[in-house]
Amino acid sequence: MRVLVLNGSPKKRSDTFRMTERFLQGLNPAGEHAITVVNVIEKQIAPCRGCFGCWQQMEGHCLIDDDQNGILDLYRTSDLVIWSFPLYCYGMPSHLKAVLDRTIPLVKMKMVQQDDGRVQHEALADFSKIHTLVISGCGFPDWEGNFDALRMQCKQCFGNLTMVCVPETPMLNVPQAAVVADPLLSRFEQAGAEYAQSLTLSPETIQELETPMIPREMYIRIVNGN
Ligand SMILES: Cc1cc2nc3c(=O)[nH]c(=O)nc-3n(C[C@H](O)[C@H](O)[C@H](O)COP(=O)(O)O)c2cc1C
């Protein structure tokens, strides 16, 4: 399986990427999969100009001559694309959103109605085999609404989607929190193995991965230093 990992954290020691790394260890224990990790923050990716030049003359590429065309080439030949990023203002960080916006060369202007009533642009080629996994960490404790906008956006944008949204992820880089962080990271490794088998995760697995490491009130108290 060809796996493209889009690491959207701008940090060297990303809380979110710690989970993704363990997931990859479980997914690829014997190194049989070809995994490419792109640290998006290190790439030159300008915002989309909205010129639609891609639809008029570029055949699956973007008129802007920067690193995005290389990402598009990796994307279209992947079996699995993992979007790994921290939640920023209830969505994805802007540099990663630029990557998402600029996947527009992969579709045509032509619109098609899906069976569920949604209207989408027709894909340039059959990308239905590409699976998408979103792993997003965030700084708030678990509360209804924090991930809602992101979940909706990903549902509209990606086919074959599996999403894991994890609260309290700054705990993963606090040595004193290892007692609760390590079991979560182990669970991510198991989830990677599960994904390699089934190309999805069971609702039970997702629920376990999304369960807060510590209760909300305790987390807020620790963050606030009291
Ligand atoms: C600009 C910015 C916006 C953020 N917005 C949110 C948010 O909407 N909800 C949330 O729970 N955490 C938010 N956070 C916290 C990050 O999601 C959190 O610190 C995360 O663990 C960082 O992950 P990383 O180490 O992988 O980059 C925000 C952080 C930054 C810097």
Check which CATH number belongs to the domain holding 214 and give it: 3.40.50.360
177: pLDDT strictly greater than 90: yes
137 lines ligand 1 (CB under 6 A): yes
114-170: pLDDT as tens digits = 898 999 999 998 888 999 999 999 999 988 899 999 999 999 999 899 999 999 999
101: pLDDT strictly greater than 90: yes
* Tally of domains in the chain: 1
88 lines ligand 1 (CB under 6 A): yes
Average pLDDT over residues 173-201: 97
Residues 6+ apart with CB under 8 A from 225: none
CA-based nearest residue to 1, from 161, 125, 127, 129:
129
Q: Relative to the CA of 91, which ligand 1 atom is closest?
A: 8
Q: Which domain holds residue 198?
A: 2-223
Predicted local confidence at residue 126, as pLDDT: 86
162 lines ligand 1 (CB under 6 A): no
Give the DSSP letter string of the chain: -EEEEEE---SSS-HHHHHHHHHHHHH-TTS-SEEEEEEGGGS--PPP----HIIIIITTS-SS-STHHHHHHHHHT-SEEEEEEE-BTTB--HHHHHHHHTTGGGEEEEEEE-TTS-EEEEESS--TT-EEEEEEE-SS-S-TTTTHHHHHHHHHH-SSEEEEEES-GGGGG-GGGHHHHHHHHHHHHHHHHHHHHHSS--HHHHHHHHS-SS-HHHHHHHHTT-
29-73: pLDDT as tens digits = 999 999 999 999 999 999 999 999 999 998 899 999 999 999 999
Q: Output the CA–CA distances (angstroms, integers) from residue 165 to 90, 125, 180, in the order listed.
A: 11, 30, 17
Ligand 1 midpoint to CA 115 (Å):
36
Mean pLDDT of the chain: 96
Tell me the backbone φ, ψ of residue 201, rounded to 5 degrees.
-125, 145
Cβ–Cβ < 8 Å for 150, 90 = yes
136 lines ligand 1 (CB under 6 A): no
Predicted local confidence at residue 143, as pLDDT: 86
Cβ–Cβ < 8 Å for 7, 15 = no
Mutate to test the pocket of ligand 1, among 96, 138, 164 (most ligand atoms within 8 A of CB): 138
Predicted local confidence at residue 156, as pLDDT: 93
203-214: pLDDT as tens digits = 999 999 999 999
Predicted local confidence at residue 29, as pLDDT: 96
Predicted local confidence at residue 222, as pLDDT: 95
178: pLDDT strictly greater than 90: yes
